[in-house]
Amino acid sequence: MLLDTAKPFGQDYVNDNDYRQAMLAIQKHQLDRGTAANWANHLRFLTADGEPKLPTGPGPNGKVAESYSDDDEGKYELSRSETDESGSVCACENHVTMKFRKSGRQLKLTGASENPFCVHYLAVSYCCESANRVRKPNDMGSNYTINTSSGIRQSKLDFEVLDRAISFARPRKLSYIWIDQECIDQEDERDQREGIQAMDLVYQRAVECLGLLDVQIADQRHIDALNAMFDGEDISDDLLHALADVLELILSDRWFTRAWILQESLAGAVQMTLQMKCNPNLEKGAFMEPMFSLSSEYLEIELTQLHAYLSTWLPTTVEYMTANSTLEPAIADRLTNIMEKWFGLLPPQVPVDYEGNRRLACNAAAAVSYLNRRENAVISDRIAIMANLCDYKKRLDTMELDRLGYNFSLCAFVLSIMNGDISLLQGYVHPLSGHSGRTDDLTRQSQQAANKGVGFSWSLPQWATLSSLRYLETELTNATFELHPSTLTQSGWLLDGWLFSFDHAIDLSPVRTMLAAKWDLSEPKKLSIPTLSTRPFLVDMMIQLLSFLVETGYTGVAELFWDITRYQPPKRQLQPSPETEAYCKASFNQIIDMKTGKITWSNPIKMYSDLPEDTRRRLGIGPYQDPFQKLYDSENFYVWRIFKAIVLDGSLPIGRLDNGKVSLDTYQAFFDNACVGNLYFAPAEYCEGSIKARHFNRWQPRAFPISRTPRRSTESYAIFACQGLDQGEWLIDPMQIERVCLE
């Protein structure tokens, strides 16, 4: 398999049909995720070898009690009682195990069925170069041997990798270590195939994950600087220079360049600890002293902790010191480059289910974008890595596709479409359309030839390459969601969703007239940007708009605009107070007096009230009394669209369900580029197997303008030509879902 990310998608195919048949052929080579999950439930582990010395006599609970010396050289011990999250006893509880001995150089490889479903293990993440360095003659006495069911053999790893893993596992009383080169049968193709597809599950389920870095911290100032950052307080100029030095050193480690490690770090999430070599004579301090470490030769930092401080404390500190002229431009540039490099190495961490679940994932656009910056030896493995990064349910047999001669780009695209992930379609922009995306002829019934999808009307343009993917690295486009059923057929792409007919436009000139009587509208660009100074106008604009919509009968559109601009606490937020909960469920007319336009119920959610006033002013935020919290949040893209419709256009095309009744209150959709006469298909988004009835989570292209009439129909669905992607919002009735085929 070739890494053809710089080659245009249409280059290797004579015509659309050849391209289409290639996509359909790739889709046939699916693997069952259940098989990989079963493999991950039956792992082999490295554990200490030898005959356990059982303590004598039962304990008070009837079980044999632990009875041994806990000296550092390590007498044998029984495994501690282990339970899973449900409280059930883990399989490893039934096994007599030993703790790793500091002087022991022989390990045992357990069988795949000895500890089914066990999660009480350490998963090690490392670079192959570290594991396979040239062994010197005087190293031979330090090498490990592995006791397997087939006999005793030499370890496939450099002894230092195992030394470091064991030094981490011993004080944490972990009896099992998982390392791919030892625990996957390298001679068994089936074991390799299933292991590749389940690698994310190995790190996701491990009670601890360890990332082995090769860099060495040798300067006390570097440790002091890291401690100052983790302390979260002010930092001296001298320590800030030292912080830049040590962060650059950490980021130079090849651990951050490997593709496999990208998915290991994302799947490992909060369990991943980075271990660096360290001069044993250095004082580590409160924040840097490993809680369990028995060795002064290593420094340990939780990956999520480092990510959090580079995401919050460091940018805030740089901004504050720059604003107060206490930071040299040169060091400010260095720290900015460090932050840019960090976020260029690790995707933004987004929980899959939006509930704070520890498993993190990204979408295909993010995965491809970040894989472009990573290396690995076997190109076909990148397809499995991408599936692991995205936590896809449907997988591809990468080994078979490699044998058949398919290349990376088309396989990656098919994989994303199979799983209902349209982020690769969202991420592309035409070279001539700048930051606005594929907008030319977006809602008309024909596309320019240069922008026509290859193979299918909805597909990527012929000129597109994965290396030129413009991925918007923000929380708006990194969110993951699933379209369903998302099946490719000879006729096209089968999806469930809703057809919206745009056959009406609201005349918003009365709202503009009311606003013009109170506000100067001569500089619309400034007014549309949410700041402390423009907020009174924007709040009044929303009150006037919502009052007008309710009074004129457009209650569906009013509900839509109310929902996308008001404050709604995230699901993973702690239980709100009864007052807050009631406020978040209140209707518009319960909070606003429509006759006077006055707020009758002040916002009880005092967001940002803990920040100093000068900080709030500098950042343009404050503890607002009005309900329109999202006027400042990232969803302020809505603000510009609403502002444009009122102040600049004077009207807004709106849509209703094409198969529903026609009345003013049934219009509940708007799209950025919609015109009267358009037909849109909004695919159903699924989260945890259920249709999401509310779709105002992100302002990003995720609906398809389509031909006004079907190209043809079958007994089960109509087939439409697609004309691009558009962003917008809609409210729906899940019961009115229908199946559509995009040719």
pLDDT reported for residue 97: 60
Contacts of 676 (CB under 8 A, 6+ apart): 502, 503, 504, 505, 653
**Residue 180 structure tokens:** 């791919």
**What confidence score (pLDDT) does residue 514 get?**
95
Contacts of 51 (CB under 8 A, 6+ apart): none
Contacts of 455 (CB under 8 A, 6+ apart): 13, 16, 19, 20, 22, 23
Whether the predicted pLDDT of 686 surpasses 50: yes
Which pLDDT score, from 0 to 100, does residue 373 have? 85
pLDDT band (50, 70, 90) for residue 411: very high
Specify which residues 738 forms β-bridges with: 497
Residue 484: both structure tokens together: 């369903």
pLDDT recorded at residue 575: 56
Can you tell me the mean pLDDT for 426-430?
57
More reliable by pLDDT, 454 or 545: 545
- Tell me if residue 178 falls in helix, strand or coil: strand
Q: How far apart (Å, rounded) are the C-alpha atoms in residues 166 and 315?
A: 36
pLDDT at 529 over 80: no
- Phi first, then psi, for residue 200 (nearest 5°) are -65, -35
Which stretch, 131-145, 228-242, 492-506, has highest mean pLDDT? 492-506
Count the Cβ atoms, other than its own, within 10 Å of residue 649.
14
**Kind of pairing between the strands at 177-178 and 122-125:** parallel
- 549 SS3 class: helix
Tokens matching residue 195: 């292991």
- Whether 4 shows a pLDDT value over 50: the answer reads yes
The confidence score (pLDDT) of residue 589 equals 87
- pLDDT of 463 reads 81
pLDDT at 626: 77
Can you give the pLDDT at residue 231? Answer: 85
455 φψ region: left (φ > 0), alpha (ψ -120 to 50), beta (else): left
- What is the number of other CB atoms lying within 10 angstroms of the CB of residue 289? 14
pLDDT at 352: 39
Report the mean per-residue pLDDT for the chain: 79
Report the alpha-carbon distance of residue 589 to residue 593 in Å, rounded: 6
Q: Which residue has the higher pLDDT, 714 or 531?
A: 714
Pairing relation of β-strands 679-683 and 493-507?
A: antiparallel
Comparing 444 with 175, the larger pLDDT belongs to 175
Q: What are phi and psi of 672, to 5 degrees?
A: -60, -40
**Beta-carbon count within 10 A of 358 CB:** 13
Average pLDDT over residues 391-400: 92
Residue 622, pLDDT score: 53
Pair 349, 269: CB distance under 8 Å: yes
Least confident of 233-242, 409-418, 666-675: 233-242
Show the tokens assigned to 740: 């559509």
DSSP annotation of 172 reads G
pLDDT of 707 above 80: yes
Cα dihedral angle (609, 574, 83, 32), rounded to 10 degrees? -110
pLDDT value, residue 143: 87
Span 85-90, mean pLDDT? 54
Q: Annotate 482-501 with three-state secondary structure.
A: EECEEEECCCCEEEEEEEEE
Max CA separation in the chain (angstroms): 91
Classified as helix, coil or strand, 74 is coil
- Partnered with residue 273 across adjacent β-strands are 210, 302
What value does the mean pLDDT take over residues 446-452? 45
* Number of helical (H) and strand (E) elements in the chain, helices listed first: 27, 28
Residue with tokens 């601890």: 208
Q: What is the pLDDT of residue 398?
A: 93
Which of 68-72, 382-386, 454-458, 664-668 shows the lowest per-residue confidence on average (mean pLDDT)?
68-72
Q: What is the pLDDT of residue 436?
A: 37
pLDDT, one tens digit per residue, over 18-42 is 999 999 999 999 998 888 889 989 9
Provide the 3-class DSSP secondary structure of residue 571. Answer: coil
Residue given tokens 């004080």 in the structure block: 171
pLDDT tens digits, one per residue of 591-622: 888 888 888 888 776 655 555 555 555 544 55
pLDDT of residue 77 exceeding 60, the answer is no
Task: Look at 512 and 724; give whichever has higher pLDDT.
Answer: 512
Q: Is the pLDDT of residue 676 over 90?
A: yes
Contact call for residues 155 and 131 (beta carbons, < 8 A): no
> What is the reported pLDDT for 181?
92
Can you give the three-state secondary structure of 616-643, one letter per residue? HHHHCCCCCCCCCHHHCCHHHHHHHHHH
Cis link prior to 578 (omega < 30° from 0)? no
Quote the DSSP letter at residue 656.
E
Q: How confident is the model at residue 687 (pLDDT cuts 50, 70, 90)?
A: low
| 481 pLDDT above the threshold of 80 | no
> What's the one-letter identity of residue 734?
P
Nearest to 361 by CA among 373, 370, 372, 349: 349
More confident position, 434 or 404: 404
Judged by average pLDDT, the poorest of 134-138, 186-190, 201-205, 672-676 is 134-138
* Burial state string for 222-256 with b = 16 or more CB within 10 A and e = fewer than 16: bbbbbbbbbeeeebeeebbbbbbebbebbbebebb
43-47, 84-88, 504-508 — which is least confidently predicted?
84-88
Q: Note the pTM of the prediction, 2 decimals.
A: 0.82
Average the pLDDT over 192-216 and give the result.
92
Q: CA–CA separation, 508 vs 46, rounded Å? A: 70
Element (H, E) at 47: strand 46-48
Report the C-alpha gap between 385 and 199 in whole angstroms.
8
pLDDT of amino acid 638: 74
| pLDDT value, residue 48 | 87
> How far apart are the C-alpha atoms of 187 and 170, rounded to whole Å?
30
Q: Average of pLDDT values for 190-213?
A: 91
pLDDT of residue 320: 81
Rounded CA separation 42/31 (Å) = 18
What are the start-end ranges of the E strands in 218-271? Answer: none
